[in-house]
Amino acid sequence: MMPFAHLALLMKLLCQVFFTLAVLSFLYRDNPIYRFAEHFFVGVAAGYWIVLQFHTVFLPKLWTPFVQKGLMGQGIAPEESRFQILLLAIPGALGLLMFAQFSRNTSWLARWPMATVIGSFSGLAIIGFAQGDLIPQIQANVLPILRPGSLTRLGAAPAFSTEQLWAFLDATSYPILTIGVICCLIYFFFSTEHRGATGAAAMVGVWFLMVSFGASYGRTVATRVSLFLERATFLLIEKTPVGGWQVRNAAVTAVVAAAMIVFLVWYFRIARREAPAETQ
Amino acid sequence: MRREIPLFLTFLFGTFFVSMNFLQGDRLREATGGFLPDQINDWMSIIISFTYVLGVGNVLRIHVKKVARRENGWGYSAATLAGLAAMMIYGLILWIPLGIAFDGQPASVEPGREWMTGMQTGSVFNWFYDAVYTPMQSTMYALLAFFISSAAFRAFRVRSFQAALLAVTALLLIVGGVPLGETVWSGFPELTSWVMEILQTAGKRAILIGAALGAISTGVKIILGVEKSYLGGRA
Amino acid sequence: MNGRVSGREGWIRRLEQVDRRVIFVLMGLAIILPLYTGWSLQQTPTKPVQDFHAALETLPPGTKIFIADDWDPGSKAELETAAVAVLTHCFRRGLRVIDATQWGTGAIIVNDTLERVARSMGKTYGEDYVYLGFKEGREVVMQAAAENLRGVYPRDYRGTPVAKLPILEGIGSLRDVALLVSVSAGYPGTKEWVQQVQRRFNVPMIAICNGVSEPEYQPYYNSGQLRGLVGGLANIAVYERLIGAEGFGTRAMVAQSSGHYMLAALILAGNLFFALSRRRTLLAVAIAVAGGGFFLWTIVRILAGP
Amino acid sequence: MTAPPRWAVGIFDLKLPVLVALVLFTALVLLLIFVAKRRPNMYIRPLAGITAIEEAIGRATEMGRPVLYVPGIDDVNNIQTIYSMVILEHVAKKVAQYGTPLIVPTCRAFVTPMAEETVKQGFTNAGSPELWHDGIVRYMSDEQFAFTAATNGIILRERPAATLLMGSFYAESLMLAETGFMAGSIQVAGTANIHQLPFFVVACDYTLIGEEFFAATAYLSREPSLLGTIKAQDGFKAMILAFLMAGLFVETLAWLGVPVPAAADGIHTVLYDWLRF
């Protein structure tokens, strides 16, 4: 008889493989296995958030201090004030007002907590964007026309060598940053028409924007490939230790995939004859 | 009152977080016995954490209705509710009697009962996280590897000079940003790193400056009550 | 465009509009097949990666650093690998790690990763590392932790009061740590740490992130707000090599490369068919020569071998 | 990097450059919103994106096929969804003038009534409210990929001649743009979600990039708060440009080793102590 812990591990592997393949089956077409997995996931995710908030915020930050220290007066540290702890009733009450959302008559009360959240994040955003983004980025772009020493480097590099290419690129870096940022800012300037010099600058600005989108595209591709790569490694290459022995994930994958294919063939050939046509 | 109080709250908390940047936290803490800023920060954590109740409330409402009315596809909704129930039971409900008895801290749960302890290693809750949440979420995003490739073949079209610039930069990073690129031409790492650090940074920096101005002006308008659209309806 | 579709053009049109599942299979094979090869490719670190490495390498052993592990299973491929590499590097150098996450859905996987690496290197919880877990509030928590760390995290993830943890002695806020390392999958992440903490409280900071975010964070590296930046699995693999702890990143590089080259081929082929079907011969020739030449050269270089 | 110039007294810690920039910008925003209330026809340059939308609607009319308008997949709490309604109202008005069918799939339960009101308003503005029917705004699903699959289904079945994607989009951007491209419709997209812009740029005929999206809404609605903000941002950008130019000049002089003339000492102080803090 397999110990319970091992059975749990094996079941976990089975579930992991099942849910991975269930999502991948969407690539063939929308199907009941995918829909089941997706709906189950939505439920699990919602439950996860509630439990998480309960354990990390509600209990330690609100319930325990308020009830134990505030109401019962137990275990108040010398540097804490009981009055301040009792003030936790304010965020508690504002939080509870969220529930007012669920009734049409009281839903306006739910705006109170939303207003505090939006106000706080607006305040933090103002400071963050002004102090962390705007000023340092402008500051970083206050540059001389050429990087000091880059011309000497370019002159010293042998002609038609890769070294010369790097020296050239290095020499262009300050002009590119200066011209690029200025031209892009002109592109996003809406008070004058793009004609003549402004028009030309705006056009150069769009070029820089396109290059920067190209970079984003290239890096997005990299991330997406990595994500599937990790899943493929999990399904086909990895081994899972269960007790003393190593289970090959590929074997589990083969079994689960075969079962899924049988089900899908049955579903699309037979069961769906009467069903209404699906989208996609 | 329906509009004034929310607007006042927005103003109050917004200006608090702005002004904290221009005050000395340590001195303020001494002067107020820790009320400012620490207590207010905790308050915000508490209120934000309640907003998640809303999300779950919506999930519940939609899916309970579907199941109750036996609407088309109600079986899937039942699966959602089952997932929600499993997480709530193992993460929360089984745990409540233990938690309140033990100062709300999972560390004090007696040995042999770890499976009940919410988010700690070895709990059933964590088992669900590993077995369902992790594979589902990572595979959802992995699907995009395929969607991006089909879009690349069927809809990525170089129809203008601008699109050509985008395509050339993208291709350069796609083939040059991986080790095989270095095998093909040893200069790729240097070239891609120049593209990333200089060439594309110019555009990104301008976007950053523009986005910063946008965010600041939106924030200012919200705090001062000029922009009220978040209270529902158009401004 | 004329209305008559000749045989050749019909054939191109059909290729242009091929069922997407055919492309899915091509892409899948391009990524899966190389997993079975044991090849290894050479890699040179770029400057941001070297700077990232140097930032951790120059700290004296025993220094306390803060790692913000802001990711979840959705970016497991890149950032679990990154987190393992960073933690291995830190522990090997004897740095003491204070870890926390702003991603609720990452609370468990970050804990598991930290425990796994720490246990394999024989580190003691509370002495060499601590996990403060997740607290709701995103930017609120970030700036609050820089004001007063204990106020935000009165207890660690396991429920131990922070006053009992020796590693946190003398750490009142993030201003007291030597370095802030952001392992970031998006919002909230590196950008928010820069905005709320780096500049406001003058905390030195480096970041390791997924590929998608890297271009967005480059301006911060350029402005010196980030002292080092590693982005995407390929750069994470280089970093793994720099610290001599080759892991998933290094093993994945052949498949990663092959996936990239397949995607490049798809973009080129799509545009080739587009040019042919629109009778834009010059563009078609340009794409065919440039693309074909590049791929031929690639094959030659691969066959030439290391 | 040197420490920022500060004025730290008592509990205050005034980081002057940030404070001055914030006060200046806030004042500018409020002032221009005030001005925009008096003069709603303040100049904003005509945007190519709006022309592109109108041309797309025109072509749909010629071909007798519908116009598809997707207001993003975010809820009403995202400001882009709300601003998308401004564009939708304009589109509804144009469509009603030409008598072209309109389809608006929505991804959020709360967005649906808002989109309905907006389309009705647009039809009324065009003088033909009788065109409204329940098949225009279609609530698909709250779930991202289910919504995408359903919308792709609409594109393939009803073959809209114009697809307008305006609002907050995420990973589904490339799937929608791909399907629209395959169906041969003219596509105009607009979003401030920078990550998704590359996918729109390559597959769409025209894309409103980030701030252009907001400028377009200001241009169309002439709402003082939008208009004033755009103008204020323009004003601040002009200042940034001036700063960058001045900085370039001073830095280049310093690099060349030219001593800064005494008369320019004031400028020098401002640029060195304030900008390079």
Distance CA(C14)–CA(B121), nearest Å, equals: 54
Q: Assess C29–A contact: CB distance below 8 Å, yes or no.
A: no
Residue C214, exposed/middle/buried by CB under 10 A (0-12, 13-18, 19+)? buried
Distance CA(A82)–CA(A69), nearest Å, equals: 7
Q: Are residues C97 and C204 in the same domain?
A: yes
What does the angle CA C98 – CA C99 – CA C104 come to, to the nearest 5 degrees?
155
Q: Are residues C222 and C268 in the same domain?
A: no
Q: State the count of interchain CB pairs (< 8 A) between B and D.
A: 112
Q: Are residues C242 and C259 in the same domain?
A: no
Q: Are residues C134 and C83 in the same domain?
A: yes
Give me the residues of chain C with pLDDT under 70, please.
1-8, 306
Q: Which residues of D touch B150 (CB under 8 A)?
A: 178
pLDDT at residue D272 in the model: 58
Instruction: Identify the residue with better confidence: C27 or B91.
Output: C27
Q: Assess D238–A contact: CB distance below 8 Å, yes or no.
A: yes
Nearest Cα residue to B77 out of A262, D146, A22: D146
How far apart are the CA of D179 and the nearest CA of chain B, in angstroms? 8
Q: Are residues C240 and C261 in the same domain?
A: no
Residue A165, exposed/middle/buried by CB under 10 A (0-12, 13-18, 19+)? middle
Q: Are residues C27 and C58 in the same domain?
A: no
How far apart are the CA of D112 and the nearest CA of chain C, in angstroms? 27
Task: Provide the residue range defining the domain that includes C113.
Answer: 47-246
pLDDT at residue C7 in the model: 66
- The count of domains in chain C is 2
Nearest Cα residue to A47 out of D49, B90, C92: B90
Could you give phi then psi for residue C201, rounded to 5 degrees? Answer: -110, 10
In the listed set C203, C225, C246, which residue is the last one of a domain according to the structure? C246
DSSP 8-state code for residue A240: E
How far apart are the CA of D176 and the nearest CA of chain B, in angstroms? 10
Q: What is the pLDDT of residues D33-54, one digit of tens each?
A: 999 999 988 999 989 999 999 9
- CB contacts under 8 A, C 129-158 vs A, are 133-136, 138-140, 143, 154-155
Beta bridge partners of C134: C101
Contact B109, B117 (CB under 8 A): yes
Q: Are residues C162 and C22 in the same domain?
A: no
* Closest residue in B to C236 (Cα–Cα): B178
Contact A218, B170 (CB under 8 A): yes
Q: Which residues of B touch D237 (CB under 8 A)?
A: 209-210, 213
pLDDT at residue D151 in the model: 94
As given in the structure block, the two tokens for residue B103 are 């100062």
- Residue C70 domain flag: yes
pLDDT at A249 > cutoff 50? yes
Distances (CA, A) of C39 to A178, A236, C189: 43, 18, 34
Which CATH number belongs to the domain containing residue C129 in this structure? 3.40.50.10160
- Residue C172 domain flag: yes
Q: What is the pLDDT of residues A106-162, one digit of tens each?
A: 888 888 998 999 999 999 999 999 999 999 999 899 889 998 889 899 999 898 889
Distance CA(C188)–CA(C205), nearest Å, equals: 16
- Residue C41 domain flag: no
pLDDT at residue D273 in the model: 56
Chains that touch B (3 or more CB pairs under 8 A): A, C, D
pLDDT at residue B195 in the model: 97
**Average pLDDT taken over every residue of chain D:** 88
Lowest mean pLDDT among A171-175, D154-158, D254-258: D254-258
Measured in whole angstroms, how far is the alpha carbon of residue C126 from the centre of its chain? 28
Give this prediction's pTM. 0.94
Q: Are residues C21 and C132 in the same domain?
A: no
Positive/negative CA dihedral, A208, A210, A216, A219? negative
pLDDT band at B55 (very low <50, low <70, confident <90, very high): confident
Mean pLDDT, range D76-91, rounded to an integer? 90
For D43-93, the three-class secondary structure string (H helix, E strand, C coil) is CCCCCHHHHHHHHHHHHHHHHCCCEEEECCCCCCCCHHHHHHHHHHHHHHH
pLDDT band at B104 (very low <50, low <70, confident <90, very high): very low
pLDDT at residue D1 in the model: 39
Q: Are residues C176 and C293 in the same domain?
A: no
The residue extents of the domains of chain A are 145-223
Distance CA(D152)–CA(B154), nearest Å, equals: 15
Q: Are residues C259 and C206 in the same domain?
A: no
Q: Which residues of A touch C (CB under 8 A)?
A: 27-28, 45, 48-49, 52-53, 56-57, 60, 120-121, 124-125, 127-129, 131-133, 136-137, 139-140, 177, 212, 215-216, 219-223, 225-233, 236-237
Distance CA(B186)–CA(A162), nearest Å, equals: 10
pLDDT at B232 > cutoff 90? no
pLDDT at B111 > cutoff 80? no
Q: Are residues C163 and C291 in the same domain?
A: no
Q: Assess A267–B contact: CB distance below 8 Å, yes or no.
A: no
DSSP 8-state code for residue A267: H
- Residue C219 domain flag: yes
Nearest Cα residue to C74 out of D173, D175, B139: B139
Contact A203, A180 (CB under 8 A): no
Q: Assess D18–B contact: CB distance below 8 Å, yes or no.
A: yes
Distance CA(C230)–CA(C218), nearest Å, equals: 10
Q: What is the pLDDT of residues A235-246, one digit of tens each?
A: 999 999 988 889
- B48 contacts A16? CB cut-off 8 A: no
The type of residue at D117 is: E
Pairing of strands D186-191, D206-209: parallel
Q: Which residues of B touch C242 (CB under 8 A)?
A: none
